[in-house]
């Protein structure tokens, strides 16, 4: 019986080699696929992180824009004189965005304008203690206005001087300082801040009015009338300026009389004379009067 010849050793070797090569190729392909999948996943994660960062940034920008818009809305309310309404919106703003010096400034102003003087004073004092520069100047300005409303012009001058030192080119602060000085009777001291304010902001009606008051109180009525004419002030405003100038002039006169009364009295005191006859010399003696010494014998 004839046997069927099996595969030769050479054929088996070639088959095994081919199988091994195929297995190696498959393994290599599997490795490549794994690496490709890993790279793809890393790429996807990176893209997701970038997109998340973009979304966060967009949200932050949207929130910032909303905050800025809301702040502008409150500012516009105050410009229009809606201070009671602005206080309500300030409370909402603080709940949503927190408290900062800018919103503290507007709250203090609103409290002052709604005549909540005690709360306004506390708000301005806190602002003055926690801020610098222009914001601190604003706080001292507000305190000066509150003192002036209570007719404590000495305190008003102190606060407004502090405000002017922090913000020297602010025409409104300079003008208000000049007015406080005028009301305290310091007419000549008021000249510099009043004229500074006029040169810093020559179109501001309030500044012009204070300058006209100073000129008229100082006896320069022709110049004051010319200034009011140039500014086209209505007659009601001119009448108010004249009345204010008369009040300022009376305050200045009262201050001068007080200065005279408090001045040292002049007394005649004997002075030794070489001729043997007592001579007198004027000396200042503060109250209570000090007895004059006896003249020395020759």
* Residue 237 within any structural domain of the chain: yes
Domain limits at 149?
Answer: 82-168
* Residue 269 within any structural domain of the chain: no
What CATH number does the domain containing 145 carry?
Answer: 1.25.40
Whether residue 252 sits in one domain with residue 200: yes
pTM as predicted:
0.68
Q: What is the pLDDT of residue 126?
A: 96
Whether residue 92 sits in one domain with residue 120: yes
* Residue 180 within any structural domain of the chain: yes
Per-residue pLDDT of the chain (298 residues; tens, 9 = 90+): 444 444 444 544 554 455 555 555 555 555 555 556 666 666 666 566 666 656 666 655 555 588 999 999 999 999 999 999 999 999 999 999 999 889 999 999 999 999 999 999 999 999 999 999 999 999 999 999 999 999 999 999 999 999 999 999 999 999 999 999 999 999 999 999 999 999 999 999 999 999 999 999 999 999 999 999 999 999 999 999 999 999 999 999 999 999 888 877 555 555 555 554 444 333 333 333 333 333 333 2
Pick the last residue of a domain from 133, 168, 203. 168
Whether residue 190 sits in one domain with residue 128: no
* Residue 109 within any structural domain of the chain: yes
Q: What is the pLDDT of residue 262?
A: 80
Pick the last residue of a domain from 120, 143, 168. 168
Q: What is the pLDDT of residue 81?
A: 96
Q: What is the pLDDT of residue 40?
A: 67
Q: Is 109:142 a contact under the CB 8 Å cutoff?
A: yes
Whether residue 217 sits in one domain with residue 147: no
Whether residue 163 sits in one domain with residue 174: no
Question: Looking only at Cα atoms, what is the longest distance across the chain?
Answer: 184
Q: What is the pLDDT of residue 273?
A: 52
Whether residue 183 sits in one domain with residue 160: no
Whether residue 224 sits in one domain with residue 207: yes
Q: What is the pLDDT of residue 242?
A: 97
* Residue 214 within any structural domain of the chain: yes
Q: What is the pLDDT of residue 53?
A: 58
Q: What is the pLDDT of residue 17?
A: 52
Burial class of 49 by CB neighbour count within 10 A (0 to 12, 13 to 18, 19+): exposed
- Total number of domains in the chain: 2
Q: What is the pLDDT of residue 298?
A: 29
Whether residue 223 sits in one domain with residue 161: no
Q: Is 212:224 a contact under the CB 8 Å cutoff?
A: yes
Half-sphere exposure (Cβ direction) of 72: Cα atoms closer than 13 Å: 6
Distances (CA, A) of 289 to 113, 278, 279: 51, 21, 20
What's the CA gap between 12 and 41, in Å, rounded? 43
């Amino acid at each position: 019986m004839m046997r069927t010849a099996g595969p030769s050793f050479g054929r088996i070797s070639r088959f095994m080699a081919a199988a091994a090569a195929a297995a190696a190729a498959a393994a290599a392909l599997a490795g490549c696929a794994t690496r490709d999948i890993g790279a793809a996943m890393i790429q996807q994660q990176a893209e997701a992180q970038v997109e998340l960062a973009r979304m966060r940034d967009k949200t932050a920008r949207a929130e910032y824009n909303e905050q800025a818009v809301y702040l502008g809305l409150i500012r516009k309310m105050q410009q229009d004189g809606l201070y009671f309404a602005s206080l309500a919106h300030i409370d909402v703003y603080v709940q949503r965005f927190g408290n900062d010096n800018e919103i503290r400034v507007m709250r203090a102003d609103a409290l002052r304008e709604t005549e909540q003087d005690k709360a306004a004073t506390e708000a301005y004092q806190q602002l003055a203690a926690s801020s610098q520069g222009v914001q601190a100047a604003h706080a001292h300005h507000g305190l000066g206005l509150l003192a002036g409303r209570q007719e404590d012009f000495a305190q008003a001058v102190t606060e407004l001087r502090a405000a002017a030192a922090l913000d020297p080119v602010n025409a409104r602060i300079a003008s208000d300082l000049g007015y406080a000085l005028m009301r305290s009777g310091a007419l000549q001291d008021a000249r510099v801040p009043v004229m500074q304010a006029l040169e810093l902001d020559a179109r501001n009606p309030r500044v012009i009015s204070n300058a006209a008051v100073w000129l008229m109180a100082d006896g320069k009525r022709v110049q004051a009338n010319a200034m009011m004419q140039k500014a086209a002030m209505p007659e009601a405003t001119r009448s108010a300026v004249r009345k204010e100038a008369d009040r300022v002039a009376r305050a200045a006169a009262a201050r001068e009389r007080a200065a005279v009364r408090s001045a040292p009295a002049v007394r005649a005191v004997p002075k030794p004379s070489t001729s043997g006859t007592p001579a007198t010399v004027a000396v200042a003696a503060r109250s209570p009067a000090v007895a004059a010494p006896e003249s020395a014998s020759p």
